[in-house]
Structure 1
Amino acid sequence: MAGRLKAPTGRYGGRSAEDRQAERRRRFLDAALELFGGAPGYRGTTVAALSQAAGLSTRQFYEAFRTLEDVLTALHLEVNDWAERAVLDALGTAGELPLAERAAVLFRAYARGVTCDPRRIRITFVEIIGVSPRLEGQRLARRARWIDLIRAEADTAVARGEAAPRDYRLAAAAFVGSVNGLLHDWSAGWVDATLDEVVDELVRLLLGMLRPEGWRPRDV
Protein backbone atom coordinates (compact mmCIF):
# COMPACT_ATOMS: atom_id res chain seq x y z
CA MET A 1 0.00 0.00 0.00
CA ALA A 2 1.52 3.31 -1.13
CA GLY A 3 0.19 5.54 1.62
CA ARG A 4 -0.95 5.08 5.15
CA LEU A 5 -4.61 5.42 6.03
CA LYS A 6 -5.47 8.09 8.53
CA ALA A 7 -6.74 6.96 11.90
CA PRO A 8 -10.03 8.43 13.11
CA THR A 9 -9.86 11.38 15.47
CA GLY A 10 -12.07 12.55 18.31
CA ARG A 11 -13.56 10.76 21.33
CA TYR A 12 -15.82 7.74 21.27
CA GLY A 13 -17.27 6.01 24.30
CA GLY A 14 -15.31 8.30 26.57
CA ARG A 15 -11.98 7.23 25.06
CA SER A 16 -9.65 9.31 22.94
CA ALA A 17 -8.61 8.36 19.41
CA GLU A 18 -5.06 7.84 20.70
CA ASP A 19 -6.27 5.37 23.33
CA ARG A 20 -8.28 3.42 20.79
CA GLN A 21 -5.38 3.35 18.36
CA ALA A 22 -3.01 2.12 21.08
CA GLU A 23 -5.46 -0.63 21.99
CA ARG A 24 -5.75 -1.76 18.37
CA ARG A 25 -1.97 -1.76 18.01
CA ARG A 26 -1.73 -3.92 21.13
CA ARG A 27 -4.28 -6.35 19.72
CA PHE A 28 -2.32 -6.67 16.48
CA LEU A 29 0.91 -7.33 18.41
CA ASP A 30 -0.77 -9.94 20.63
CA ALA A 31 -2.18 -11.67 17.56
CA ALA A 32 1.22 -11.51 15.87
CA LEU A 33 2.88 -13.15 18.87
CA GLU A 34 0.42 -16.02 18.46
CA LEU A 35 0.75 -16.37 14.67
CA PHE A 36 4.41 -15.44 14.15
CA GLY A 37 5.55 -17.27 17.28
CA GLY A 38 3.46 -20.36 16.54
CA ALA A 39 1.65 -21.51 13.44
CA PRO A 40 1.84 -20.56 10.63
CA GLY A 41 4.84 -18.33 11.46
CA TYR A 42 5.72 -14.93 10.06
CA ARG A 43 6.18 -16.05 6.47
CA GLY A 44 2.88 -17.92 6.45
CA THR A 45 0.80 -15.06 7.85
CA THR A 46 -1.13 -12.55 5.75
CA VAL A 47 -2.49 -9.16 6.72
CA ALA A 48 -6.01 -10.58 6.43
CA ALA A 49 -5.18 -13.51 8.72
CA LEU A 50 -3.52 -11.27 11.31
CA SER A 51 -6.44 -8.84 11.24
CA GLN A 52 -8.90 -11.68 11.71
CA ALA A 53 -6.91 -13.08 14.64
CA ALA A 54 -6.87 -9.62 16.22
CA GLY A 55 -10.61 -9.21 15.68
CA LEU A 56 -9.98 -6.09 13.60
CA SER A 57 -10.21 -5.06 9.95
CA THR A 58 -7.43 -4.78 7.39
CA ARG A 59 -8.19 -1.07 7.22
CA GLN A 60 -7.42 -0.82 10.92
CA PHE A 61 -4.21 -2.74 10.31
CA TYR A 62 -2.99 -0.13 7.84
CA GLU A 63 -3.91 2.61 10.29
CA ALA A 64 -1.50 1.02 12.80
CA PHE A 65 1.26 -0.46 10.58
CA ARG A 66 2.53 -0.24 7.03
CA THR A 67 3.58 -3.87 6.55
CA LEU A 68 3.76 -7.18 8.35
CA GLU A 69 7.49 -6.64 8.62
CA ASP A 70 6.78 -3.55 10.72
CA VAL A 71 4.76 -5.76 13.07
CA LEU A 72 7.58 -8.29 13.35
CA THR A 73 10.04 -5.45 13.94
CA ALA A 74 7.98 -4.07 16.82
CA LEU A 75 7.39 -7.54 18.28
CA HIS A 76 11.07 -8.47 18.18
CA LEU A 77 11.98 -5.29 20.06
CA GLU A 78 9.24 -5.92 22.61
CA VAL A 79 10.34 -9.51 23.29
CA ASN A 80 13.93 -8.34 23.79
CA ASP A 81 12.75 -5.53 26.07
CA TRP A 82 10.90 -8.03 28.27
CA ALA A 83 14.06 -10.11 28.71
CA GLU A 84 16.25 -7.04 29.26
CA ARG A 85 13.95 -5.68 31.96
CA ALA A 86 14.02 -9.04 33.74
CA VAL A 87 17.83 -9.02 33.76
CA LEU A 88 18.15 -5.41 34.88
CA ASP A 89 15.63 -5.98 37.67
CA ALA A 90 17.65 -9.01 38.80
CA LEU A 91 20.87 -7.00 38.60
CA GLY A 92 19.37 -4.44 40.95
CA THR A 93 18.95 -7.12 43.62
CA ALA A 94 22.11 -9.14 42.95
CA GLY A 95 24.68 -6.40 42.40
CA GLU A 96 26.62 -7.07 45.61
CA LEU A 97 26.59 -10.87 45.52
CA PRO A 98 29.77 -12.84 44.80
CA LEU A 99 30.43 -13.40 41.10
CA ALA A 100 29.13 -16.97 40.82
CA GLU A 101 25.90 -16.17 42.67
CA ARG A 102 25.43 -12.92 40.76
CA ALA A 103 25.86 -14.66 37.41
CA ALA A 104 23.37 -17.38 38.38
CA VAL A 105 20.74 -14.80 39.29
CA LEU A 106 21.20 -12.86 36.05
CA PHE A 107 21.15 -15.87 33.75
CA ARG A 108 18.19 -17.40 35.52
CA ALA A 109 16.29 -14.13 35.04
CA TYR A 110 17.22 -14.02 31.33
CA ALA A 111 16.47 -17.68 30.72
CA ARG A 112 13.10 -17.54 32.40
CA GLY A 113 12.23 -14.27 30.67
CA VAL A 114 12.95 -15.75 27.25
CA THR A 115 11.77 -19.32 27.71
CA CYS A 116 8.61 -18.68 29.75
CA ASP A 117 6.76 -18.49 26.44
CA PRO A 118 7.91 -20.68 23.48
CA ARG A 119 6.57 -18.02 21.12
CA ARG A 120 9.17 -15.55 22.40
CA ILE A 121 11.95 -18.02 21.60
CA ARG A 122 10.66 -18.42 18.05
CA ILE A 123 10.40 -14.66 17.50
CA THR A 124 13.89 -14.06 18.91
CA PHE A 125 15.85 -16.88 17.31
CA VAL A 126 13.88 -18.16 14.29
CA GLU A 127 11.35 -15.84 12.64
CA ILE A 128 13.66 -12.82 12.65
CA ILE A 129 16.38 -14.55 10.61
CA GLY A 130 16.73 -13.72 6.93
CA VAL A 131 13.69 -11.44 6.63
CA SER A 132 15.41 -8.26 5.47
CA PRO A 133 18.59 -6.19 5.93
CA ARG A 134 16.66 -3.87 8.24
CA LEU A 135 15.64 -6.67 10.60
CA GLU A 136 19.09 -8.25 10.45
CA GLY A 137 20.52 -4.90 11.53
CA GLN A 138 18.04 -4.72 14.38
CA ARG A 139 18.84 -8.29 15.46
CA LEU A 140 22.57 -7.55 15.53
CA ALA A 141 22.00 -4.26 17.36
CA ARG A 142 20.04 -6.00 20.12
CA ARG A 143 22.66 -8.74 20.28
CA ALA A 144 25.29 -6.03 20.71
CA ARG A 145 23.39 -4.71 23.74
CA TRP A 146 23.62 -8.12 25.40
CA ILE A 147 27.32 -8.29 24.55
CA ASP A 148 27.83 -4.86 26.14
CA LEU A 149 26.01 -6.02 29.27
CA ILE A 150 28.28 -9.08 29.59
CA ARG A 151 31.36 -6.91 29.04
CA ALA A 152 30.20 -4.47 31.71
CA GLU A 153 29.66 -7.30 34.19
CA ALA A 154 33.10 -8.72 33.32
CA ASP A 155 34.71 -5.32 33.91
CA THR A 156 32.91 -5.04 37.24
CA ALA A 157 34.21 -8.46 38.23
CA VAL A 158 37.75 -7.42 37.25
CA ALA A 159 37.50 -4.25 39.35
CA ARG A 160 36.38 -6.36 42.32
CA GLY A 161 39.28 -8.76 41.90
CA GLU A 162 36.88 -11.55 40.93
CA ALA A 163 38.06 -11.99 37.33
CA ALA A 164 41.26 -11.90 35.32
CA PRO A 165 41.90 -8.49 33.71
CA ARG A 166 41.78 -8.53 29.90
CA ASP A 167 39.76 -7.28 26.93
CA TYR A 168 36.49 -9.25 26.97
CA ARG A 169 35.05 -8.05 23.64
CA LEU A 170 35.48 -11.29 21.71
CA ALA A 171 34.81 -13.49 24.71
CA ALA A 172 31.52 -11.70 25.43
CA ALA A 173 30.39 -12.07 21.81
CA ALA A 174 31.23 -15.80 21.84
CA PHE A 175 29.46 -16.25 25.16
CA VAL A 176 26.27 -14.53 24.01
CA GLY A 177 26.23 -16.80 20.97
CA SER A 178 26.52 -19.82 23.29
CA VAL A 179 23.68 -18.55 25.49
CA ASN A 180 21.34 -18.01 22.56
CA GLY A 181 22.21 -21.31 20.90
CA LEU A 182 21.81 -23.38 24.06
CA LEU A 183 18.51 -21.77 25.05
CA HIS A 184 17.13 -22.20 21.53
CA ASP A 185 18.13 -25.89 21.46
CA TRP A 186 16.72 -26.43 24.96
CA SER A 187 13.39 -24.84 24.05
CA ALA A 188 13.23 -26.98 20.88
CA GLY A 189 13.62 -30.14 22.96
CA TRP A 190 17.09 -30.95 21.64
CA VAL A 191 18.76 -30.68 25.06
CA ASP A 192 17.81 -33.21 27.73
CA ALA A 193 18.14 -31.00 30.81
CA THR A 194 16.13 -28.80 33.14
CA LEU A 195 16.28 -25.04 32.78
CA ASP A 196 18.21 -24.83 36.05
CA GLU A 197 20.77 -27.27 34.66
CA VAL A 198 21.09 -25.12 31.53
CA VAL A 199 21.63 -22.01 33.67
CA ASP A 200 24.21 -23.82 35.82
CA GLU A 201 26.12 -24.80 32.68
CA LEU A 202 26.06 -21.21 31.41
CA VAL A 203 27.41 -19.99 34.75
CA ARG A 204 30.25 -22.53 34.52
CA LEU A 205 31.04 -21.31 31.01
CA LEU A 206 31.12 -17.70 32.18
CA LEU A 207 33.31 -18.45 35.18
CA GLY A 208 35.68 -20.40 32.95
CA MET A 209 35.90 -17.37 30.67
CA LEU A 210 36.51 -14.94 33.54
CA ARG A 211 38.78 -17.17 35.60
CA PRO A 212 41.29 -19.05 33.41
CA GLU A 213 43.14 -22.03 34.85
CA GLY A 214 45.80 -20.98 37.33
CA TRP A 215 44.24 -17.59 38.09
CA ARG A 216 42.97 -16.89 41.60
CA PRO A 217 40.63 -14.12 42.87
CA ARG A 218 42.29 -11.44 44.93
CA ASP A 219 41.06 -9.37 47.83
CA VAL A 220 40.21 -5.76 46.90
Structure 2
Amino acid sequence: MAGRLKQSTGRYGGRTAEERQAERRRRFLDAALQLFGDSPGFRSTTVAALSEAAGLSTRQFYEEFCTLEDVLAVLHLQVNDWAEEAALNALAAARNLPLPERAVAIFHAYCANVASDPRRIRITFVEIIGVSPRMEEQRLARRSRWVGLLCAEAAAAAARGEAASRDYRIAAVGFIGSVNGLLHDWSAGWVDATLDEVVEELVRQLLGIMRPEGWRAELTTGIPRTGSP
Protein backbone atom coordinates (compact mmCIF):
# COMPACT_ATOMS: atom_id res chain seq x y z
CA MET A 1 0.00 0.00 0.00
CA ALA A 2 1.40 3.39 -0.96
CA GLY A 3 2.95 5.34 1.86
CA ARG A 4 3.96 2.39 4.04
CA LEU A 5 7.40 2.18 5.54
CA LYS A 6 9.91 -0.23 4.08
CA GLN A 7 9.59 -3.72 5.50
CA SER A 8 12.46 -5.93 6.63
CA THR A 9 13.23 -9.12 4.74
CA GLY A 10 14.68 -12.50 5.66
CA ARG A 11 13.79 -15.03 8.36
CA TYR A 12 13.49 -14.22 12.04
CA GLY A 13 12.31 -16.56 14.77
CA GLY A 14 11.77 -19.27 12.18
CA ARG A 15 9.28 -17.17 10.16
CA THR A 16 9.68 -15.29 6.91
CA ALA A 17 9.10 -11.56 6.59
CA GLU A 18 5.85 -12.29 4.76
CA GLU A 19 4.63 -14.54 7.57
CA ARG A 20 5.47 -11.92 10.19
CA GLN A 21 3.70 -9.24 8.16
CA ALA A 22 0.58 -11.42 7.82
CA GLU A 23 0.60 -11.98 11.59
CA ARG A 24 0.88 -8.26 12.32
CA ARG A 25 -1.88 -7.48 9.88
CA ARG A 26 -4.14 -10.10 11.49
CA ARG A 27 -3.48 -8.65 14.95
CA PHE A 28 -4.37 -5.15 13.79
CA LEU A 29 -7.58 -6.38 12.19
CA ASP A 30 -8.54 -8.42 15.26
CA ALA A 31 -7.99 -5.35 17.43
CA ALA A 32 -9.98 -3.19 15.00
CA LEU A 33 -12.89 -5.62 15.07
CA GLN A 34 -13.02 -5.15 18.83
CA LEU A 35 -12.51 -1.38 18.96
CA PHE A 36 -14.52 -0.42 15.87
CA GLY A 37 -17.21 -3.05 16.36
CA ASP A 38 -17.71 -2.59 20.10
CA SER A 39 -16.20 0.27 22.05
CA PRO A 40 -15.23 3.03 21.51
CA GLY A 41 -16.15 2.70 17.80
CA PHE A 42 -14.25 3.73 14.68
CA ARG A 43 -14.55 7.49 15.12
CA SER A 44 -13.22 7.43 18.67
CA THR A 45 -10.32 5.06 18.04
CA THR A 46 -6.79 6.37 17.56
CA VAL A 47 -3.81 4.75 15.90
CA ALA A 48 -2.11 4.59 19.29
CA ALA A 49 -5.11 2.87 20.90
CA LEU A 50 -5.42 0.36 18.07
CA SER A 51 -1.70 -0.40 18.16
CA GLU A 52 -1.82 -0.90 21.92
CA ALA A 53 -4.82 -3.24 21.62
CA ALA A 54 -2.96 -5.23 18.96
CA GLY A 55 0.15 -5.40 21.12
CA LEU A 56 2.15 -3.67 18.41
CA SER A 57 3.72 -0.26 17.83
CA THR A 58 2.46 2.68 15.85
CA ARG A 59 5.50 2.26 13.62
CA GLN A 60 4.29 -1.24 12.79
CA PHE A 61 0.82 0.15 12.11
CA TYR A 62 2.19 2.47 9.44
CA GLU A 63 4.10 -0.41 7.91
CA GLU A 64 0.73 -2.05 7.20
CA PHE A 65 -1.76 0.81 6.74
CA CYS A 66 -1.81 4.49 5.91
CA THR A 67 -4.86 5.45 7.99
CA LEU A 68 -7.47 3.97 10.30
CA GLU A 69 -9.91 4.28 7.42
CA ASP A 70 -7.80 1.77 5.50
CA VAL A 71 -8.27 -0.67 8.37
CA LEU A 72 -12.04 -0.10 8.39
CA ALA A 73 -12.16 -0.66 4.63
CA VAL A 74 -10.38 -4.00 4.89
CA LEU A 75 -12.51 -5.07 7.85
CA HIS A 76 -15.77 -4.14 6.13
CA LEU A 77 -14.86 -6.24 3.09
CA GLN A 78 -13.70 -9.11 5.29
CA VAL A 79 -16.97 -9.24 7.20
CA ASN A 80 -18.92 -9.24 3.93
CA ASP A 81 -16.65 -11.93 2.48
CA TRP A 82 -17.32 -14.19 5.47
CA ALA A 83 -21.08 -13.75 5.09
CA GLU A 84 -20.99 -14.24 1.31
CA GLU A 85 -18.95 -17.42 1.64
CA ALA A 86 -21.44 -18.81 4.17
CA ALA A 87 -24.40 -17.96 1.91
CA LEU A 88 -22.80 -19.42 -1.23
CA ASN A 89 -21.80 -22.62 0.55
CA ALA A 90 -25.37 -23.01 1.78
CA LEU A 91 -26.68 -22.35 -1.72
CA ALA A 92 -24.41 -25.00 -3.20
CA ALA A 93 -25.55 -27.55 -0.63
CA ALA A 94 -29.24 -26.69 -1.15
CA ARG A 95 -29.14 -26.30 -4.93
CA ASN A 96 -31.56 -29.18 -5.59
CA LEU A 97 -34.10 -28.22 -2.91
CA PRO A 98 -37.36 -26.39 -3.71
CA LEU A 99 -37.19 -22.59 -3.59
CA PRO A 100 -38.63 -22.12 -0.06
CA GLU A 101 -36.16 -24.62 1.42
CA ARG A 102 -33.28 -23.07 -0.52
CA ALA A 103 -34.20 -19.62 0.76
CA VAL A 104 -34.31 -20.86 4.36
CA ALA A 105 -30.92 -22.55 4.03
CA ILE A 106 -29.26 -19.49 2.47
CA PHE A 107 -30.69 -16.93 4.87
CA HIS A 108 -30.05 -19.07 7.89
CA ALA A 109 -26.40 -19.43 6.87
CA TYR A 110 -26.05 -15.72 6.14
CA CYS A 111 -27.79 -14.54 9.30
CA ALA A 112 -26.01 -17.05 11.51
CA ASN A 113 -22.66 -15.89 10.15
CA VAL A 114 -23.33 -12.19 10.60
CA ALA A 115 -25.10 -12.60 13.93
CA SER A 116 -22.40 -14.90 15.33
CA ASP A 117 -20.58 -11.73 16.37
CA PRO A 118 -22.52 -8.47 16.98
CA ARG A 119 -19.35 -6.57 16.14
CA ARG A 120 -19.67 -7.71 12.54
CA ILE A 121 -23.14 -6.19 12.31
CA ARG A 122 -21.93 -2.90 13.73
CA ILE A 123 -18.96 -2.78 11.33
CA THR A 124 -20.96 -3.43 8.19
CA PHE A 125 -24.23 -1.63 9.04
CA VAL A 126 -23.21 1.22 11.36
CA GLU A 127 -19.56 2.20 11.57
CA ILE A 128 -19.00 2.49 7.82
CA ILE A 129 -21.90 4.91 7.33
CA GLY A 130 -20.90 8.51 6.60
CA VAL A 131 -17.16 8.05 7.10
CA SER A 132 -16.07 9.41 3.71
CA PRO A 133 -17.04 9.39 0.03
CA ARG A 134 -14.56 6.56 -0.49
CA MET A 135 -16.15 4.38 2.17
CA GLU A 136 -19.64 5.20 0.95
CA GLU A 137 -18.61 4.09 -2.52
CA GLN A 138 -17.27 0.84 -1.09
CA ARG A 139 -20.42 0.26 0.95
CA LEU A 140 -22.69 0.80 -2.05
CA ALA A 141 -20.47 -1.31 -4.27
CA ARG A 142 -20.69 -4.17 -1.82
CA ARG A 143 -24.45 -3.77 -1.55
CA SER A 144 -24.60 -3.84 -5.35
CA ARG A 145 -22.76 -7.16 -5.23
CA TRP A 146 -25.42 -8.58 -2.92
CA VAL A 147 -28.12 -7.20 -5.22
CA GLY A 148 -26.46 -8.94 -8.16
CA LEU A 149 -26.33 -12.25 -6.33
CA LEU A 150 -30.00 -12.00 -5.36
CA CYS A 151 -31.06 -11.03 -8.88
CA ALA A 152 -29.09 -13.93 -10.37
CA GLU A 153 -30.76 -16.42 -8.06
CA ALA A 154 -34.20 -14.91 -8.71
CA ALA A 155 -33.62 -15.18 -12.47
CA ALA A 156 -32.52 -18.80 -12.09
CA ALA A 157 -35.63 -19.56 -10.04
CA ALA A 158 -37.82 -17.90 -12.67
CA ALA A 159 -36.14 -19.94 -15.41
CA ARG A 160 -37.03 -23.10 -13.48
CA GLY A 161 -40.63 -22.00 -13.13
CA GLU A 162 -40.32 -21.40 -9.39
CA ALA A 163 -40.84 -17.64 -9.45
CA ALA A 164 -42.30 -14.85 -11.52
CA SER A 165 -40.25 -13.75 -14.51
CA ARG A 166 -39.45 -10.05 -14.06
CA ASP A 167 -36.69 -7.51 -13.49
CA TYR A 168 -35.80 -7.91 -9.82
CA ARG A 169 -33.26 -5.10 -9.45
CA ILE A 170 -35.44 -2.55 -7.66
CA ALA A 171 -37.06 -5.21 -5.49
CA ALA A 172 -33.64 -6.64 -4.59
CA VAL A 173 -32.35 -3.24 -3.46
CA GLY A 174 -35.41 -2.73 -1.26
CA PHE A 175 -35.25 -6.24 0.13
CA ILE A 176 -31.56 -6.05 1.03
CA GLY A 177 -32.27 -2.80 2.84
CA SER A 178 -34.87 -4.70 4.85
CA VAL A 179 -32.36 -7.47 5.61
CA ASN A 180 -29.80 -4.98 6.88
CA GLY A 181 -32.30 -3.02 8.94
CA LEU A 182 -33.89 -6.08 10.53
CA LEU A 183 -30.58 -7.69 11.43
CA HIS A 184 -29.27 -4.46 12.92
CA ASP A 185 -32.39 -3.85 14.99
CA TRP A 186 -32.50 -7.50 16.11
CA SER A 187 -28.84 -7.38 17.14
CA ALA A 188 -29.44 -4.14 19.05
CA GLY A 189 -32.28 -5.78 20.99
CA TRP A 190 -35.03 -3.72 19.40
CA VAL A 191 -36.70 -6.78 17.84
CA ASP A 192 -37.90 -9.45 20.26
CA ALA A 193 -37.41 -12.59 18.19
CA THR A 194 -35.16 -15.59 17.79
CA LEU A 195 -32.75 -15.80 14.87
CA ASP A 196 -34.95 -18.52 13.35
CA GLU A 197 -37.93 -16.15 13.50
CA VAL A 198 -35.88 -13.45 11.80
CA VAL A 199 -34.94 -15.89 9.04
CA GLU A 200 -38.57 -17.00 8.66
CA GLU A 201 -39.69 -13.39 8.24
CA LEU A 202 -37.02 -12.67 5.63
CA VAL A 203 -37.99 -15.79 3.69
CA ARG A 204 -41.66 -14.77 3.77
CA GLN A 205 -40.76 -11.36 2.40
CA LEU A 206 -38.57 -12.82 -0.33
CA LEU A 207 -41.17 -15.36 -1.42
CA GLY A 208 -43.77 -12.59 -1.48
CA ILE A 209 -41.56 -10.69 -3.91
CA MET A 210 -40.75 -13.69 -6.09
CA ARG A 211 -44.25 -15.19 -5.98
CA PRO A 212 -46.67 -12.25 -5.96
CA GLU A 213 -50.41 -12.68 -5.57
CA GLY A 214 -51.89 -14.14 -8.70
CA TRP A 215 -48.70 -15.89 -9.78
CA ARG A 216 -48.86 -19.59 -10.55
CA ALA A 217 -46.04 -22.03 -11.19
CA GLU A 218 -45.35 -22.73 -14.85
CA LEU A 219 -46.72 -25.81 -16.53
CA THR A 220 -44.29 -28.47 -17.67
CA THR A 221 -44.48 -26.86 -21.12
CA GLY A 222 -42.63 -23.88 -19.68
CA ILE A 223 -45.47 -21.44 -20.46
CA PRO A 224 -46.03 -19.07 -17.53
CA ARG A 225 -49.52 -18.92 -16.09
CA THR A 226 -51.02 -16.15 -14.00
CA GLY A 227 -54.38 -15.53 -12.48
CA SER A 228 -56.42 -17.18 -9.74
CA PRO A 229 -56.09 -20.96 -9.30
TM-score scaled to structure 2, two decimals?
0.94
Helix, strand or coil at the partner of 1:155: helix
- Counterpart in the other structure of 2:136: 136
| Counterpart residue number, 2:168 | 168
State the distance in 1 between where 2:219 and 2:16 align. Answer: 60
Superposition pairs of residues 1-220 of structure 1, within 5 angstroms: 3-220=3-220
What's the secondary structure of 1:39's corresponding residue? coil
Q: Work out the CA distance in 1 between the residues paired with 2:174 and 2:65.
A: 36
| CA RMSD after TM alignment | 1.0
Measured in 2, the distance between the counterparts of 1:141 and 1:125 equals: 14
CA distance in 1, matches of 2:162, 2:219: 8
User: Structure 2 CA distance, aligned partners of 1:86 and 1:56?
Assistant: 31
Q: CA–CA distance in 1 between the matches of 2:3 and 2:91?
A: 44
SS state at 2:215 partner: coil
Uncovered stretches (5+) of structure 1, i.e. residues with no partner? none
Residue 64 of structure 2 aligns with an amino acid whose one-letter code is A
**Structure-1 separation of matches of 2:105 and 2:212:** 22
Deviation at 1:217, TM superposition (A): 1.2
Q: Summarize deviations over 1:60-82 as a string: whole Å, max 9, x none.
A: 00001111000000000000000
Write the distance in 2 (CA, Å) between the matches of 1:126 and 1:141: 16
- How many Å separate the matches in 1 of 2:86 and 2:12? 36
Q: CA separation in 2, counterparts of 1:87 and 1:93?
A: 10
Unaligned runs of 5+ in 2: 221-229
Report sequence identity in percent: 75
Number of residues paired by the alignment?
A: 219
TM-score by structure 1 length? 0.97
